[in-house]
Chains A and B, each alone.
Chain A
Amino acid sequence: MFELFDQLFVNLKHAVVGALPEGWQVLASPLISAAAILGVFASLFALTVLVERKGLGRIQNRPGPNRVGPAGLLQPLADFIKALTKEDIVPVSADKVLHFLAPVVMLAPVLLAYAVLPFGRNMVAVDFDAGLLFFFAAGACVELAVFMAGWSSHNKFSLLGAMRAIAQMISYELPLILATLGVVMLVGSLSLVDIVASQAGHHWGWLARWWVFTPWGLAAFVIFLIAATAESNRAPFDLPEGEAELVAGHLVEYSGFKYAIFFIAEYLGLFAVSALAITLFLGGWHAPVAALDWLPSWFWFGAKLAGFIVFFIWVRGTLPRVRVDHLMGFAWKFLLPLVLWNLVVAAVWWYSRGWAFAGAGILRWVGCAAMILIPYSLLGRALYTRHGLGPRTYRLAA
C-alpha cells in the first residue's frame, strides 16, 4: 500500500512511457517530467498568489480578496484573465528584441533549475552528479534577465532598478553558495539525490538525521534563508522593484502578460530555492520523525514547501524594506564572515565525529553551537554600535 502511493507518480510515468513505441520513449520521458514540473509549479504559483494576498491581508487586519468566487478562491483566475487581456505596451525607444526576450530569459533558467531537484523517492527529472552546481549556474541567469529588462526598457528607473538588482543578487549569491558548502563538504557530493540520501536514518531511533539539527547546519540554514530571500527579490530585500524610489525597478515598462511572466519567474525561483533549502537542510522528502514514515515521500516534500511558502509570506508581512546601503553592508560585513566561519565549524563537526568518551555528543553539539553563537553575538554587537547597521540617527531632524 505504502509502496503504491509513494511511487504513484513514478509508476504512472513509467506506464505512459512504456506504452509508447520504442523510438518515442527517449523523447517522452523528459517531456513528461518537464510537463509535470511546469503544471504543478505553475498551479502552485496561482495558489501562492491567493494565499499571499489573503495572508498579507490578515496580517494587516483586513480580509484580503473575497469577491471572486466563494471566499475569493477564484481570484487567481481573475488575475490571470486580467494579465492576459491587458494591452502589451513596448516603449518606442526600447530595444524591442531584448525587451521581448527578457521575460523569456527570466523564466527559462528557473524552470531548468527544477530538473535536478528530487521531489520524492525516485522523483527527480535528472539525477545530475553536479546537481547543486547546475542549480546555481541556472539560477545565475536570472541576473542577466533582470539586467536585460532594465537596459532594454530605456528608462532611468528601470536601469537603476536593474543595477541594484545586479549588485544585490551578486552580493547575496556569495553567502547563498557558501552556506550550502558545509553540506557539500560533509556529504562529499554535489548530487542533490546523494545529499538527500545522506540525511536518511534517525537519531535515537525517532528524530530524522537532517543537517538542520546540527549547529552549523542550523546556522547555514538561516543564512541560506536570508540569502535566498534576497536572491529571489522578496521582501524585505525587494529593493530592485522598490515602488517608493524606483516606481517598479526593471518592471516599469512591462505590462500585460510579460509582466505576469516576471512574477511567475520570481515565484518559481522562490519555490526552487525553497526546494533547495529543503533538499540540503531539511532532509528532502524524508519524514521529520520515524513515526510518520508511512506518509508518501512526495507528501513530505510538498508539506515542507508549503511551510516555506507560508514562512516567506509571513516575512513579507512583517519586515519593512531595508535601505540599499544596509542591504549591501549586511551581506558583505555580516553574512559573509559568518558563513565563512560556519565552514570552519562544519569542519570541526566533521573531525569530532569519532569522539567516543562519555558526554561526547552533548559536548560536540554545545561546543559547535558556542563556536557560532559567540562570533554572531560579537559581530552583531560590533556592527550595531560601530558600523552603522544599528538604529539610524537623524542629524538634521529635531
Chain B
Amino acid sequence: MLGSGIVKGFVETARNFVGSFHDPGRLVTIEYPDERQELPENSRNFPMLVYDGDDRMKGLRCVACKICEKECPPQCIYIEVERDARGKALKHPRIFDLDISVCMSCQICVEVCPFDAIKMDTAFELSTDNRFGGLLLNKHQLAKPNSYYRAIHPLEAAEVDERLAAEQARAAAKAKAAAAKAPAPAAANAVAT
C-alpha cells in the first residue's frame, strides 16, 4: 500500500539512531584530536632521511649521490655534497632540503635510493604559520632514527634491515677474506727482506 516504504524508512533511521548509542559498528566516527586512527602499514606522506645509531648527522645513510634529486618529478629535493678542505667529496650531504609544499608524495625517491636512506614518513600534522620557510625542511628536520622507521612501517623496515645486515655480513666476509689473503704476501715479503 502507498506509504509502506516511508514506514520502512522510519524504522531504518530509528534503528540507526538507537544503534549509534550502543553499537560501535554504527558510530564509526573517530574524534580525531582526542583519539587517533592507527595508520595502515602502507600509509605515506612526505619523505624522511633514516639514520643509524645515535648521531643524527653522522648516522645518516645518505651519501649525497643525488639520484633522488635527479629523479624527483616536481624537483622538490636540493642536495649539496659535503667536501673536505681539499675539495674532495665526503659521501655526506652538506645540504639536504625538501620542500613539502612541492612534494607530491610519489615515493620515486624512495624507490631509486640504492642505500635505503630516504623513506616515506607518515606524519601529517605539518601545518605552519610560515608557508615558505616553514614548509622547506632541512636535513636536521628530515632525519629520523631507524627505530622510528621500524615503528611506522614494521614489515618494510624488517625487510630493509635484513637486506642491510646481509650486505654488511657479505662486506665483512669479503674484508675478512681480503685480510686473510693480504697478510700472507706481506709475511713472505717480510721473510724475504
Residues of A within 8 A of B (CB): 55, 58-63, 66, 314, 317-319, 376-377, 380-381, 383-384
| Docked pose: A58 CA to B29 CA in angstroms | 11
Given contacts A58-B21, A61-B16, A318-B10, 13 further A-B contacts (CB under 8 A): A55-B17, A58-B20, A59-B16, A59-B17, A61-B19, A61-B26, A61-B27, A62-B27, A63-B20, A314-B13, A314-B17, A317-B13, A377-B2
Tell me how far the C-beta of A51 lies from the nearest C-beta in chain B, rounded to whole angstroms.
12
Q: Which residues on the A side are within 8 Å of B19 (C-beta)?
A: 61
Interface string of B1-34 (1 = CB under 8 A from A): 1110010011011101101110000111101000
Once A376-B2, A377-B1, A380-B3 are accepted as A-B contacts, the answer to whether A61 and B28 lie under 8 Å apart by CB is yes
Q: Which residues on the A side are within 8 Å of B12 (C-beta)?
A: 318
- 5 A-B contacts (beta carbon < 8 Å): A318-B12, A318-B13, A377-B1, A377-B2, A383-B2
Once A60-B16, A61-B20, A381-B2 are accepted as A-B contacts, the answer to whether A314 and B10 lie under 8 Å apart by CB is yes
| Docked pose: A61 CA to B20 CA in angstroms | 6
CB < 8 Å neighbour of B29 from A55, A62, A319, A376: A62
Query: Which single residue of chain B is at the shortest CB-CB distance from A315?
Result: B10
Tell me how far the C-beta of A206 lies from the nearest C-beta in chain B, rounded to whole angstroms.
28
Query: Which single residue of chain B is at the shortest CB-CB distance from A377?
Result: B1
Once A58-B21, A61-B20, A63-B29 are accepted as A-B contacts, the answer to whether A384 and B2 lie under 8 Å apart by CB is yes
Q: Which residues on the A side are within 8 Å of B29 (C-beta)?
A: 61-63
| Docked pose: A362 CA to B74 CA in angstroms | 82
Q: Which residues on the A side are within 8 Å of B10 (C-beta)?
A: 314, 318
Q: Which residues on the B side are within 8 Å of A55 (C-beta)?
A: 17
Q: Are B9 and A319 in contact (CB under 8 A)?
A: yes
CB < 8 Å neighbour of B2 from A58, A62, A66, A380: A380
Q: Which residues on the B side are within 8 Å of A376 (C-beta)?
A: 2
Tell me how far the C-beta of B22 lies from the nearest C-beta in chain A, rounded to whole angstroms.
11
| Docked pose: A377 CA to B31 CA in angstroms | 47
Query: Which single residue of chain A is at the shortest CB-CB distance from B18?
Result: A58
Interface string of B21-54 (1 = CB under 8 A from A): 1000011110100000000000000000000000
Residues of B within 8 A of A (CB): 1-3, 6, 9-10, 12-14, 16-17, 19-21, 26-29, 31
| Docked pose: A58 CA to B20 CA in angstroms | 6
CB < 8 Å neighbour of A318 from B9, B21, B27: B9
Tell me how far the C-beta of A378 lies from the nearest C-beta in chain B, rounded to whole angstroms.
10
Once A61-B26, A63-B27 are accepted as A-B contacts, the answer to whether A319 and B6 lie under 8 Å apart by CB is yes
Q: State the 4 A-B residue pairs at the shortest beta-carbon distance, nearest first.
A: A380-B2, A318-B13, A58-B20, A58-B17
Q: Which residues on the A side are within 8 Å of B16 (C-beta)?
A: 58-61
Query: Which single residue of chain A is at the shortest CB-CB distance from B2?
Result: A380
CB < 8 Å neighbour of A63 from B2, B3, B9, B31: B31
Q: Which residues on the B side are within 8 Å of A384 (C-beta)?
A: 2
| Docked pose: A25 CA to B28 CA in angstroms | 59
Query: Which single residue of chain B is at the shortest CB-CB distance from A389?
Result: B2
Tell me how far the C-beta of A307 lies from the nearest C-beta in chain B, rounded to whole angstroms.
14
Q: Which residues on the A side are within 8 Å of B3 (C-beta)?
A: 380
| Docked pose: A103 CA to B19 CA in angstroms | 40
| Docked pose: A88 CA to B13 CA in angstroms | 37
Tell me how far the C-beta of B3 lies from the nearest C-beta in chain A, rounded to whole angstroms.
7
Q: Which residues on the A side are within 8 Å of B9 (C-beta)?
A: 318-319
Between A59, A61, A66, A380, the greatest number of chain B beta carbons within 10 A of the residue's beta carbon is seen for A61
| Docked pose: A134 CA to B9 CA in angstroms | 36
| Docked pose: A274 CA to B11 CA in angstroms | 22
Q: Which residues on the A side are within 8 Å of B20 (C-beta)?
A: 58-59, 61-63
Q: Which residues on the B side are within 8 Å of A317 (C-beta)?
A: 13, 17
| Docked pose: A58 CA to B21 CA in angstroms | 8
| Docked pose: A377 CA to B12 CA in angstroms | 24
Q: Are B13 and A380 in contact (CB under 8 A)?
A: no
| Docked pose: A60 CA to B29 CA in angstroms | 11
| Docked pose: A317 CA to B29 CA in angstroms | 18
Tell me how far the C-beta of B35 lies from the nearest C-beta in chain A, rounded to whole angstroms.
12
Once A376-B2, A380-B2 are accepted as A-B contacts, the answer to whether A59 and B13 lie under 8 Å apart by CB is yes
| Docked pose: A383 CA to B3 CA in angstroms | 13
| Docked pose: A381 CA to B29 CA in angstroms | 42
Query: Which single residue of chain B is at the shortest CB-CB distance from A384?
Result: B2
| Docked pose: A102 CA to B26 CA in angstroms | 43
Q: Which residues on the B side are within 8 Å of A319 (C-beta)?
A: 6, 9
| Docked pose: A55 CA to B26 CA in angstroms | 14
| Docked pose: A59 CA to B21 CA in angstroms | 10
Tell me how far the C-beta of A137 lies from the nearest C-beta in chain B, rounded to whole angstroms.
32
Query: Which single residue of chain B is at the shortest CB-CB distance from A334?
Result: B2
Tell me how far the C-beta of A41 lies from the nearest C-beta in chain B, rounded to whole angstroms.
25
Q: Are A314 and B14 in contact (CB under 8 A)?
A: yes
Query: Which single residue of chain A is at the shortest CB-CB distance from B11?
Result: A318
Tell me how far the C-beta of A246 lies from the nearest C-beta in chain B, rounded to whole angstroms.
25
Q: Which residues on the B side are within 8 Å of A61 (C-beta)?
A: 16, 19-20, 26-29
Q: Which residues on the B side are within 8 Å of A318 (C-beta)?
A: 6, 9-10, 12-13
| Docked pose: A149 CA to B20 CA in angstroms | 39
Between B3, B13, B28, the greatest number of chain A beta carbons within 10 A of the residue's beta carbon is seen for B13
Q: Which residues on the B side are within 8 Å of A60 (C-beta)?
A: 16
Q: Which residues on the B side are within 8 Å of A62 (C-beta)?
A: 20, 27, 29
